[in-house]
Amino acid sequence: MRSAVELARQWREDPRLRWLGYCAVAAALIALPFAVDAVLGRAWVRIIDVALLFILLGLGLNIVVGFAGLLDLGYIAFFAVGAYTYALLASPQFDLHWSFLVLLPLGAFVAGVFGVLLGAPTLRLRGDYLAIVTLGFGEIIRIFLNNLNRPYNITNGPQGITLIDPLALGELALNKSYAVAGFTLAPVHNYYFVFLACAAASIFISLRLEDSRIGRAWIAIREDELAAGAMGINTRNLKLLAFAMGASFGGVAGGLFVSFQGFVSPESFALLDSIMVLCMVVLGGMGNVGGVVLGAALLTALPEALRYAGPLQQAWLGDVYVDPSDLRMLLFGLALVLMMLLRPAGLWPSTLRRRELAGAGESGVAR
């Protein structure tokens, strides 16, 4: 035990050891899909892919909720905007087949614009109003996606858009299998590496943002908006920036998602999906990048594990009483309540948050 602590301290202090650690993590992440493929089967590689996408989404929402302290309950709408931007411009729907090199940045940009459009009129409102307005916005986007098939067919309504182009550069398309140095790279593996790169980039961006001038300004706004304003922070612009930034993460994730699925329909963007992403952020630890990654991974894997709940009930109780997907939602709801009551800073809280919450408890200051 002593040596483990010693090792951790050494690891933190010695740059050579630290690089060794990073290399080990990178090697493990590269080997992960093949190991999972061999042990648990290909379905689980797919689940890991989805988890990486959710890490991207969670980190985007973390900028809005965790850093800037703005509760956004319609975050999935930006995911939808990115997804439909990609789907409309790279599918037989309009017979357009743009490259993802254009579409992913475009998705991020369009989602960001939507973020500003939503934020501009609402950001001067108090936090809880903002929550309801964003929730309404999320529903409006879904209603429009569902109904924009008449009189002109734009989104193809509830049927959704099919045959969406995969990520491809010239002849190299990610939905084909390749053989590299004795390993078979199936589509799920290809996408794993792309998503891993995106997730790593978003983790890097989030970490750098957190320590930047902008990030510190966001945290100041979250703590006390009046005081932050008095210190010369342009609170309105910075809140808009947080919204746009978070939204563009969602937009990129949306584009990646539909290129991976090859199919998109409004059904994927319900309120419950917004809440699921929120759960990841809250459960993991609002404002802490590591916590959000942990939350996203946990909450993507948990429902898959719950799939065994049906057969287990059958075996033990003789009948399936609780549908596994309902059980998942029940557990989500319970988790939100219990987390707020027992561990409001999340499973892996940010050090700043933890200090604040402890301080607020001692002095009993009402906020």
DSSP category for residue 307: T
Residue 184, φ and ψ in degrees, nearest 5:
-90, 125
Q: Which is nearer to another protein, 174 or 276 (CB)?
A: 276
Query: Taking the complex as a whole, how short is the minimal distance between the CB of residue 232 and another protein, in angstroms?
Result: 17
| Centroid of chain to Cα 33 | 20
Q: Which is nearer to another protein, 102 or 140 (CB)?
A: 140
Q: Which is nearer to another protein, 172 or 337 (CB)?
A: 337
Give the torsion sign (CA, 242, 244, 248, 254).
positive
Q: Which is nearer to another protein, 173 or 352 (CB)?
A: 352
| Centroid of chain to Cα 142 | 19
Distance spanning both ends of the chain, measured CA to CA: 41
Tokens of 10: 């050494």
Query: Taking the complex as a whole, how short is the minimal distance between the CB of residue 244 and another protein, in angstroms?
Result: 18
DSSP category for residue 178: E
Residue of 270, 300, 278, 306 lying closest to 49 (CA atoms): 300
Query: Taking the complex as a whole, how short is the minimal distance between the CB of residue 344 and another protein, in angstroms?
Result: 5
Q: Which is nearer to another protein, 92 or 127 (CB)?
A: 127
Instruction: Tell me the H-state helices in the chain.
Output: 2-13, 15-39, 42-61, 76-89, 100-122, 127-147, 187-211, 213-223, 225-230, 235-261, 271-284, 289-306, 309-317, 324-342, 351-363
Please identify which residue in the block is written with the tokens 């986007």: 141
Query: Taking the complex as a whole, how short is the minimal distance between the CB of residue 350 and another protein, in angstroms?
Result: 14
Q: Which is nearer to another protein, 128 or 211 (CB)?
A: 128
Residue 320, φ and ψ in degrees, nearest 5:
-90, 105
Q: Which is nearer to another protein, 101 or 125 (CB)?
A: 125
Q: Which is nearer to another protein, 10 or 147 (CB)?
A: 147
Query: Taking the complex as a whole, how short is the minimal distance between the CB of residue 242 and another protein, in angstroms?
Result: 15
Residue 174, φ and ψ in degrees, nearest 5:
-75, -15
Query: Taking the complex as a whole, how short is the minimal distance between the CB of residue 237 and another protein, in angstroms?
Result: 17
Q: Which is nearer to another protein, 199 or 247 (CB)?
A: 247
CB 155 within 8 A of CB 266: yes
Query: Taking the complex as a whole, how short is the minimal distance between the CB of residue 222 and another protein, in angstroms?
Result: 9
What is the distance between the alpha carbons of residues 235 and 217, in angstroms, rounded to a whole number?
8
Query: Taking the complex as a whole, how short is the minimal distance between the CB of residue 127 and another protein, in angstroms?
Result: 6
CB 345 within 8 A of CB 283: no
Query: Taking the complex as a whole, how short is the minimal distance between the CB of residue 229 and another protein, in angstroms?
Result: 10
What is the distance between the alpha carbons of residues 215 and 205, in angstroms, rounded to a whole number?
11
What is the distance between the alpha carbons of residues 331 and 351, in angstroms, rounded to a whole number?
27
**Interface ranges with another protein (CB under 8 A):** 65, 69, 71, 73, 121-122, 124-129, 131-133, 135-137, 139-140, 143-144, 146-147, 150-151, 225-226, 271, 275, 278, 282, 286, 321-322, 326, 329-330, 332-337, 340-341, 344, 357, 360, 364-367
